Amino acid sequence: MLDVRKLRLLRELAHRGTIAAVAEALAYTPSAVSQQLASLEREAGVPLLERTGRRVVLTPAALTLVEHTETILAVLEQAKADLDGARAELTGTLRIGVFPSAVRTILSPALVALSHDHPRLELTVTELDPATVPAALRAATLDVALVQEYDYVPAEPDPALDTEPLLEETVYLAALTGGPLEARRDASWIVGTPGTLCHTMTVRACQAAGFTPRVRHHADDFGAVLALVAAGQGVALIPELGMIAPSPNVVLTALPTRRRTHLAYRRGAAAHPAVSAARSALHTSVLGRKP
C-alpha cells in the first residue's frame, strides 16, 4: 500500500523541483525527504527518480503517480469536507491568504461577517504575494486564498487547486500628466519587487506598448507607489484596489489591461463548511463594493 504522506512529498517535488525546496516548504530535513522518497520507490517497485549529480528528475512512472496523487488528495479533501459537514457548528481554524490591497477593501468586511455568523471558527490571515499562494495551499498552510492574474500574466493551471472568479479590476497608469502608455517610453518607472505579479505585469504591458520600462524604484505597497508618483519620482501601473487616497496631482488614466482575482482552495475542499462560508462571505463583500 502506498503511503499518502510519501505521495505528497513526490507531488511537491514535481512542483518545486528540488528536494531542498520540498524540505524547506514542509518542515522536513532534506535527508528525511530523500529517505521517504526512497521508501516510496521501493513500495512502488519501479524507479521514480533519476539522479543527475545533485539534482533529481521524476521518471515517467513518477509523473503518472503524481497525477494519481492529485486525485487521491482531492478525494481525501472531499471526505474531510463531508465529515466536517456533519457537525452542528463551525469550529476549528480557517487559514486565509490575501494580497495586501485586498485586506482593507475585501477581506475586512468578510472577516466581520464570518466572526458574527460563526463565532467558534478561528480565523487566521496571512498577507502574501499571490505568486506564492498555490504552494501554500498545496502545503496546507492556507485553506482558502486570493490569487490573481493579469491580461499579460495569465495564471498557470494547478491540478491540486480549484478556483472561481471573484473580482475584475481596471489597471491605471498613474503619472503627473495624462497621456497613453505608449508615451512613457522615456519615463522613470516605479514597479514591484522582481518576481511579483505586479512587476511582471508592468514589464510585459510596457513591452506590449513597444518599450521596456526604465525602472528607477521598486515598491510593493501601492500607497508608497502613489506617494512616489506624487513626488515626481516616476510613473506606475496600479490596479483599482490599489487606489488608496491618491494625491490630487496624480493623474489616473484607465488602461485596457485588467486584473482578475480568483478564490483558490485545494481540489475537493469547495464543500468544506469553513471554506464554503469563506467563499460566500468574500463574494458578498465584493458585491457590497459595487455602486
Where in the chain are the domains? 4-84, 89-162+261-289, 169-258
Cell of 258: 485588467
In this prediction, what percent of the chain has a pLDDT beyond 70? 99
Which residue type does 291 have? Answer: P
Length of the chain: 291
By the 10 Å C-beta count (0-12 exposed, 13-18 middle, 19+ buried), 62 is classed as buried
Bridge partners, residue 92, by sequence: 121
- Mean of per-residue pLDDT scores for the chain: 93
Mean pLDDT value of segment 110-120: 95
pLDDT in tens, 50-59: 987 778 899 9
CA distance 24 to 96: 21
Confidence band (pLDDT; 50, 70, 90) for 161?
very high
Task: Indicate whether 138 pLDDT > 70.
Answer: yes
Q: Which of 50-54, 82-86, 207-211, 282-286 has the lowest mean pLDDT?
A: 50-54
The DSSP bridge pattern shows strands 144-150 and 121-127 to be unpaired
By the 10 Å C-beta count (0-12 exposed, 13-18 middle, 19+ buried), 103 is classed as middle
Q: How much is the pLDDT for 66?
A: 96
Q: Angle at Cα 17 formed by Cα 15 and Cα 20, nearest 5°?
A: 115
CA distance 266 to 275: 10
Task: Indicate whether 256 pLDDT > 90.
Answer: yes
CATH of 4-84, one of 3.90.1530.10, 3.40.50.300, 1.10.10.10, 1.20.1630.10: 1.10.10.10
Mean pLDDT value of segment 268-277: 95
- Cα 165 to chain centroid distance, Å, stands at 13
Sign of CA dihedral 187, 191, 193, 199: negative
CA distance 34 to 19: 7
| Equal CATH topology for 89-162+261-289 and 169-258 | yes
Q: How much is the pLDDT for 89?
A: 87
CA distance 246 to 228: 11
Confidence band (pLDDT; 50, 70, 90) for 290?
low
Q: Which of 104-108, 206-210, 261-265 has the lowest mean pLDDT?
A: 104-108
- Cα 119 to chain centroid distance, Å, stands at 27
- Superfamily (CATH) of domain 169-258: Periplasmic binding protein-like II (3.40.190.10)
CATH of 89-162+261-289, one of 3.30.1490.100, 3.40.630.10, 3.40.190.10, 3.40.50.300: 3.40.190.10
Virtual CA dihedral for 214, 219, 224, 228, nearest 10 degrees?
-20
Confidence band (pLDDT; 50, 70, 90) for 1?
confident
Q: Please state, as a whole number, how many other Cβ atoms lie within 10 Å of the Cβ of residue 6.
A: 20
Q: How much is the pLDDT for 180?
A: 94
Sign of CA dihedral 52, 36, 5, 59: positive
Q: How much is the pLDDT for 273?
A: 95
Q: How much is the pLDDT for 268?
A: 95
- Cα 158 to chain centroid distance, Å, stands at 11
Look up residue 68 and give its DSSP letter: H
3-state secondary structure of 263: strand
Predicted structure pTM score:
0.86
